[in-house]
Structure 1
Amino acid sequence: MESGLMRRRAATLVLVLTAALLPATPAAAASIPADLAHIGNARQLIVVTAPGWSSTRATLRAYQRGGDGRWRQVFKAMAARTGYGGWAWANRRVQDTGQTPVGTFTITRAFGVRPDPGTRLPYREVDGNDYWVGDRRDPRTYNLFQPSASPNRTWRISQAERLAAYPTQYAYAAVINFNRPSGVRWDAKRGEYVAGKPAHVGRGSAIFLHASGKGATAGCVSVSRSNMVRLLKWLNPAKRPRIVMGPSKVITRA
C-alpha cells in the first residue's frame, strides 16, 4: 500500500508541475472582466494591460458578454503601444507628460482621416479644418473637437492637434472618454462644439485608441491599423463599450 500511495503522490506531483508550466489558455484570460471594478453595464470591454508603470508596450484584449452573462474573448491578444512617459492614475495625470491614464473609460465615438470602415459608432471623416483642442487658456473648449473655421474661435491653433496632420496614427481612431467635458453639443450659431461642464484643464486631452505609428504614443493606446479596423467594426454603442487600462498589478482597481 505504501508503494502504491507513493506512486499516486508522484503522479499527482507530475500533473501539478505540468499544469504550472503550461501557458495560460484563452479560457483563463477570459476570466479577467469578472475581476474588474468599474465595468458597470458594459457588454463590450477592451482591456489593456502593461507589465509595469514605466512600460510603453502593452497587450490589448477584447471581450464581449453574451446572453448567458459570460465574458468571452473575441480576438487574439493584440500588441499595443502606450505613452512614452509610462502610466499615471487618471486623476493624477498632467498634460504633456506622455503618460497613459490608468482607469476605466467609455468609448462613444470614432473618427479618422480615412473613410468610415464600417463602425457602428458615430464616425467623422476628418479633414484639414478639424482640430482637437488642448489650450489651457481656453477651458470652454478644452478636450473638445473643434473646426478651425468657427467664426467665434477663442482657442489657439498652436495649442490644438490638427487631426489630418497624423494620417498614419489617425487613419482610424476611437475617442477614449478620459477627462472629457460633459453635455457636449453642436452650437450652430457659434459654429463650434460647446460643453455643459468643462474638462479638468491641465489633466490632458486627446487620448485616443488609434492606429500605431513608429513607436510609443503621447499618452494614447495604439494597435496595428488592421487591428484598429477590426475593433471599430466590432464596437457597438448599444453594448455600452468601455476600455480598462493600466499596469497588470493594478488593472482590477483601474
Structure 2
Amino acid sequence: MSGSHRAASPRRPASAPTDRSEAEQSQGRAASRRSRRKARPRRVRKLTVGTATLLALAAGWFTVGPGRDFQASTASAAPDHEPEVVPMQAADAGQHTEAPAADRSDRERITSIPGIGASWMSQVPADTRQLLVASGQGKDSSDNTVTLWTRDADGGWQAGQAWPAHNAYKGWTADHRSGDLRSPIGLFSLTDAGGRKTDPGSKLPYDESKSFVMSGRGFNNEPLAGSFDYVIAINYNRVEGKSPLDTTYPQGAAKGGGIWLHLDHGGPTHGCISLTEDHMVELIKTLDPALHPMIMMGDAQSLAA
C-alpha cells in the first residue's frame, strides 16, 4: 500500500460624627426639620402642581405611577452622559431590546469554511453533513491539521477540534502516482473502516482483520508497527463499500491506492493521513454514513483556491 501515514476618601473633620450610619444621620435631620415646622405658625397656601413637584424633588424623592418610588440622586449619574430614560410603556410591559438567542446564533452561523475556496465548497454535496478537512502547512510539507466540520440542517458549519497530523513525505500533488511519496489533493468520500484491533464502535462498516499489518521503520527511523490498528479508507482510486484491504484500483495501479487515515507513527507517510490513536478512535466512532462524510485534503494554498 502506498499509505503509511483598578483614593482614599478625604479624612473627615474631627467634629463630624463617625459612629452613626448614613441612614441614622438622615433620620435625625428629618426629625429636626419636623420640630422646627411645628414651632412656626401654621400658614396654608395653595401650591401649584409645578411648585409641589419641585418641593418633592428637593425632598429627594418622587413617585412615578402607582407603587413606583424612585430616589432622586445625581451622585450616581454618569458624568459623561445623560441618564438613560426607560419609557414607562416598555417597563410596564417587561420588554427588553436584547435580540433573542436564536437570532444571535443565526448571525454567527458559518456558511463557508474558513480557508476553503468557493470552488472547493461548491463541490461538497448538499447531503454531506460531515466534512473532514486536512489542511497542509505547505505544498512540500508533511505536516497538516485535521478538523471535522459538521453542517446543520440550515446549512451552517460547526468546527470540531483541530488535530495535528502527518501526510506524505514530499507533501501534496493534484496528480498522484504510485510511489511519488505525495498525498493526493482532492475531495473524497469516507465509507469504510477497519483495523487489526476490535471495532471501537464504528458506524461505518468495519473490517477487523489480522491482515492490517505494517512493519519496518519510517522516514525518521520510527517503528511502523501498529500503524494500521485502526484505519479509515479514503476513497481515492478504490471501490466504495469494500474493505480497506481491497486492491481494486478503478483508475489503474499506476494512479496508486491504499490511501487511508491511520495511526500516526511519528513521521511522514507514503501518501496517507495519520492521526494519534485517541483521535482516530474518536473519528471512527463519530463518522456516520447517514451524514455522508467526506474528506477534503491538500496544502492550505491549494484548498484556498
TM-score between the two structures when normalised by the length of structure 2: 0.55
Question: What corresponds to 1:174 in structure 2?
Answer: 232
Q: Indicate conservation of the 8 Å contact 1:182/1:198, yes or no.
A: no
Deviation digits for residues 113-137 of structure 1, max 9, x if unmatched? 110010100001111xx3xxxxxxx
Q: CA deviation at 1:33?
A: 6.2
Q: Indicate conservation of the 8 Å contact 2:234/2:260, yes or no.
A: yes
Q: 1:161-200 counterparts in 2 under 5 A?
A: 163-165=212-214, 167-181=225-239, 198-200=250-252
Q: CA deviation at 1:52?
A: 1.3
Question: What corresponds to 2:169 in structure 1?
Answer: 84
Question: What corresponds to 2:153 in structure 1?
Answer: 67
From 167, 179, 185, the equivalent of 1:102 is 185
Question: What corresponds to 1:235 in structure 2?
Answer: 287
Structure 2: any 5+ residue segments left out of the alignment? 1-108, 216-224
Deviation digits for residues 155-207 of structure 1, max 9, x if unmatched? xxxxxxxx22355211111000001147869xxxxxx9796x83322111110
Once residues 53 and 95 of structure 1 are traced to their aligned partners in structure 2, the CA distance between those partners, rounded to angstroms, is 18
Once residues 95 and 243 of structure 1 are traced to their aligned partners in structure 2, the CA distance between those partners, rounded to angstroms, is 20
- Say whether 1:51 aligns with 2:137: yes
- Say whether 1:248 aligns with 2:300: yes
Question: What corresponds to 1:148 in structure 2?
Answer: none
Name which one, 1 or 2, has greater alpha-carbon Rg.
Answer: 2
Secondary structure at the counterpart of residue 61 of structure 1:
strand
TM-score between the two structures when normalised by the length of structure 1: 0.66
- What letter corresponds to residue 209 of structure 1 in structure 2? L
Once residues 246 and 144 of structure 2 are traced to their aligned partners in structure 1, the CA distance between those partners, rounded to angstroms, is 33
Alignment RMSD (CA, Å): 2.8
Alpha-carbon distance change, 184 to 199 in structure 1, aligned in 2, over 3 angstroms: farther
Once residues 235 and 182 of structure 1 are traced to their aligned partners in structure 2, the CA distance between those partners, rounded to angstroms, is 15
Deviation digits for residues 12-36 of structure 1, max 9, x if unmatched? xxxxxxxxxxxxxx97995456842
Q: CA deviation at 1:242?
A: 0.4
Question: What corresponds to 2:274 in structure 1?
Answer: 222
Secondary structure at the counterpart of residue 190 of structure 2:
strand
Secondary structure at the counterpart of residue 228 of structure 1:
helix
Q: Indicate conservation of the 8 Å contact 2:192/2:205, yes or no.
A: yes
Aligned length: 185
Once residues 262 and 162 of structure 2 are traced to their aligned partners in structure 1, the CA distance between those partners, rounded to angstroms, is 16
Q: Indicate conservation of the 8 Å contact 2:110/2:157, yes or no.
A: no
Question: What corresponds to 2:28 in structure 1?
Answer: none
From 109, 112, 121, the equivalent of 2:195 is 112
Question: What corresponds to 2:18 in structure 1?
Answer: none
- What letter corresponds to residue 165 of structure 1 in structure 2? M
Deviation digits for residues 37-88 of structure 1, max 9, x if unmatched? 42113110000111211000001110111122211012x1100100012110
Once residues 99 and 34 of structure 1 are traced to their aligned partners in structure 2, the CA distance between those partners, rounded to angstroms, is 22
Question: What corresponds to 2:205 in structure 1?
Answer: 122
Question: What corresponds to 1:139 in structure 2?
Answer: none
Q: Indicate conservation of the 8 Å contact 1:49/1:251, yes or no.
A: yes
Secondary structure at the counterpart of residue 165 of structure 1:
coil
Identical residues among aligned pairs (%):
30
Choose between structure 1 and 2: higher strand proportion.
1
Question: What corresponds to 2:253 in structure 1?
Answer: 201
